[in-house]
Structure 1
């Protein structure tokens, strides 16, 4: 959805984001959609060459469920054109020395399953997801050695079924907004999360029992969490900080590591516990947590009984505290995948260097990182209004790409240069479209993945 484009062509069926961007254009900042995105479907070979030239050795991408199964279900037919697209992409990556890291679900439930039984609101989704990933393992697993079942299930549940800011746009309480008046109660966000965990466990079980021994790959999940600091020194805010972390990270981490979660059967709990070869943590920034009193109505936020205030801008990244917390929670895991997605105003070279130094000083075994993202792209509810790419995309000029300062930095970093100069590419005139964005304080970001195994 964010990259590929060609959403209604080449046999792809609609997904919930296609419907959401049509029926709820007011919830997208610039009222855009992903119909074209950055046209990765047709330009992927160019992008592979850009990554190769930068010195990267891996690429993480998602498989669109409805591109390979247009109607969501295996029994309803396979789109061979979709299978061919991903086969061609994987082959081109490997030919150019890039290892594919494949995410199986990135919030794009096939619309057919949403219409048939409510998508992830129904336990029926577990079997259909198992069939979908089985198809992927069969067709791509001989070359794909790193699988990620779900990307940030917390975001999909809370934003899609509580706040309504992401597809399918369901909201847990009536709000004073004519476009956001659906009252689903406070249960859907938990129901969806429950089914996401079961779908993950089913996929891992299938892979380990049927494919892992012959294909030799690994499978895991990517979670998301902020770090939280108490807004004050009060005991109430201290407790709110712990609750905030539990409601964001612990909600999904505890079932995976301990099998501990309400309403799981003994068999489900056993299937969930330890259902990973690696765990990814997408870590963005630090927020202040403040206690709030319970209200007469129930929502996810009220259940949490804590409010996340603005970012702790003077101390936005707390890797050491976060790492120590994860060590305490996950004693049996030697290393994790961490991801930092942070936004800086250009130019600010000191921030980049300090991240690397900080991680090294605190013993984090940095095995690699992924940049989010290679290109500017469709950023969900933000549309094209924010730019996270290493390459600037000129949406008004045939999606022409221009390298940002971060491309130069990454090239030198990947060559292990002793000194990284964070300047513009020498000898290259800055295009006017990029110059204007920089004048308006263009934002850049990087998502850092520190990879390791159990």
Structure 2
């Protein structure tokens, strides 16, 4: 029996504006916090930037051809806020060339029968808002982002029916400083930024609901990233609690307010207790008012889920005296199994079974919401061209298989997106990590794209809507089976016949 997904299931690939578009200062685009961050030495591997990246701004038609080749149902893309509002403030300037670029992109996708799923924010905050107001540390971002979102609904919402407000809003740039804007506000900055982002998401959802939904008939969700946490010792209550705490601090931090109205209790307890031990009069984790809880709860028509890997978790108590930190607030340690496949990126191990467990956790925890998997994929860390990416094929096979099992468990997943279409700029890792189904030669000016073996594999999964007969999935396997099942027996039979004829000939000669 070969397993297929329900009819109407959406298969796609994704990318983001900053990582692929390039043209960082062309046609009226303003600088983003990532432009400013990467232009400082020592912030990114090899001091690489996304100034030109994949030249996606100039190669929309070429990339849509790749999407057509893959036969995807949807394409997940993001809009660059500073490309359509150079300063991030609507009343100061709207860039018509930027709006035309996204209009043309959306129209081209639809002409080719590809559904656009559009993310409003994939980390490229306008630099002016960071400089003037401190970015997501400032509550004024709520109204600026709402103006931007409403402009997007106005300009593109007649054709875009799936909107994602924020992709992976876990803002390392305000905690560890390893991402833009590069601020080290450990144990305070990320909580504050997240608080404002959650309130901004709710504001945008209500704006769409009130002004646009009846006309445009679309949906608004958020995309959250989470690994799965598995207890090291399943007989240890402390490890079991630590593993759940890991997921609550990761996914629940954002999902719980949206689905239940407030931060997870365990998060409030742990951050509150550590804050008290550090002599603070109040918790470093901000609080929502009663009105805010009610306003935020229920503000997602679907949950976008980005998932890549799993960790084993054990309990460990960290002294609060070492100072505030998101990582030590959790009182746990993350471990990996050395047997897990590791294609080269230190953080990304292939652990397919964790995917099904995370999906079932979401089903149980948040009332089985509608889910679209918005990112799932694996990188390689190889400097030479690797078009035969068999590890990516194995990764996709394992994770899609677990997705299918989760759907059979009753989890309400309606779409799956491979991350990503192209090799691209990977934030502070530069171009050293490659997630693409298509290899990009960044050394050549026109940034040519070359299909990896995983393109053919994913294309067959899409065409079959799941796992068909294995012979239909892997042409190499089919070829080898043909050799084994037809050619080998034929050659063997011929050898026996030739031997028999030679033997008869020798016997006659002897007689």
Q: Per the shorter chain, which TM-score range?
A: 0.7 to 0.9
Structure 1's 3 and 269: CA in aligned 2 closer, same or farther, altered over 3 A? same
Selected match of 2:71 from 55, 59, 63: 55
1:352, distance to aligned residue in structure 2 (A): 3.7
Selected match of 2:302 from 278, 285, 288: 278
Matched, 1:68 2:84: yes
Matched, 1:336 2:371: yes
Which residue does 2:463 correspond to in 1? 415
Matched, 1:308 2:334: yes
Selected match of 2:261 from 250, 253, 259: 259
Say if 1:243 and 1:304, in contact at 8 Å, map to a contact too: yes
Say if 2:376 and 2:418, in contact at 8 Å, map to a contact too: no
Say if 1:285 and 1:311, in contact at 8 Å, map to a contact too: no
CA offsets 1:195-229 (integer angstroms, 9 cap, x no match): 00011001101001000100111110000111011
Matched, 1:86 2:110: no
Tell me, in whole angstroms, the C-alpha distance in 1 between the residues paired with 2:369 and 2:190: 32
Structure 1's 334 and 150: CA in aligned 2 closer, same or farther, altered over 3 A? closer
Look up the SS of the partner of 1:109 in the other structure: coil
Look up the SS of the partner of 1:76 in the other structure: coil
Matched, 1:5 2:5: no
Say if 2:176 and 2:186, in contact at 8 Å, map to a contact too: no
Say if 2:371 and 2:415, in contact at 8 Å, map to a contact too: no
Which residue does 1:374 correspond to in 2? 421
1:291, distance to aligned residue in structure 2 (A): 2.1
1:312, distance to aligned residue in structure 2 (A): 7.1
1:95-114 equivalent positions in 2, closer than 5 A: 95-114=111-130
1:423, distance to aligned residue in structure 2 (A): 4.7
Look up the SS of the partner of 2:474 in the other structure: coil
Say if 2:44 and 2:430, in contact at 8 Å, map to a contact too: yes
- List structure 1 runs of 4+ shifted beyond 6 angstroms: none
Say if 1:405 and 1:423, in contact at 8 Å, map to a contact too: no
Selected match of 1:160 from 151, 173, 176: 173
1:50, distance to aligned residue in structure 2 (A): 1.3
1:383-398 equivalent positions in 2, closer than 5 A: 383-398=430-445
Say if 1:65 and 1:72, in contact at 8 Å, map to a contact too: yes
Tell me, in whole angstroms, the C-alpha distance in 2 between the residues paired with 1:100 and 1:211: 18
Structure 1's 356 and 188: CA in aligned 2 closer, same or farther, altered over 3 A? closer
Which residue does 2:11 correspond to in 1? none
Look up the SS of the partner of 2:30 in the other structure: coil
Tell me, in whole angstroms, the C-alpha distance in 2 between the residues paired with 1:207 and 1:8: 30
Look up the SS of the partner of 1:239 in the other structure: helix
Look up the SS of the partner of 1:84 in the other structure: helix
Say if 2:27 and 2:97, in contact at 8 Å, map to a contact too: yes
**TM-score, length-scaled by structure 2:** 0.76
Tell me, in whole angstroms, the C-alpha distance in 2 between the residues paired with 1:334 and 1:203: 19
Which residue does 1:353 correspond to in 2? 397
Selected match of 1:243 from 242, 245, 248: 245
Say if 1:11 and 1:70, in contact at 8 Å, map to a contact too: yes
Selected match of 1:29 from 45, 60, 79: 45
Cα RMSD for the two superposed structures: 2.1
Say if 1:376 and 1:388, in contact at 8 Å, map to a contact too: yes
Matched, 1:229 2:230: yes
Matched, 1:145 2:161: yes
CA offsets 1:348-381 (integer angstroms, 9 cap, x no match): 4555434444333441565432221111100111
Look up the SS of the partner of 2:249 in the other structure: helix
Look up the SS of the partner of 2:428 in the other structure: helix
Say if 1:66 and 1:110, in contact at 8 Å, map to a contact too: yes
Say if 2:377 and 2:396, in contact at 8 Å, map to a contact too: no
**TM-score, length-scaled by structure 1:** 0.85
Tell me, in whole angstroms, the C-alpha distance in 1 between the residues paired with 2:339 and 2:37: 33
CA offsets 1:54-83 (integer angstroms, 9 cap, x no match): 211211110000000001101111011101
Which residue does 2:449 correspond to in 1? 401
Say if 1:142 and 1:215, in contact at 8 Å, map to a contact too: yes
Look up the SS of the partner of 1:153 in the other structure: coil
Tell me, in whole angstroms, the C-alpha distance in 2 between the residues paired with 1:136 and 1:334: 25
Say if 1:204 and 1:276, in contact at 8 Å, map to a contact too: yes
Say if 1:392 and 1:404, in contact at 8 Å, map to a contact too: yes
Structure 1's 358 and 193: CA in aligned 2 closer, same or farther, altered over 3 A? closer
Tell me, in whole angstroms, the C-alpha distance in 2 between the residues paired with 1:330 and 1:388: 30
- Structure 2 unaligned blocks of 5 or more: 1-17, 264-285, 341-349, 381-387, 480-511
Say if 1:63 and 1:104, in contact at 8 Å, map to a contact too: yes
1:422, distance to aligned residue in structure 2 (A): 6.1
Which residue does 1:324 correspond to in 2? 360
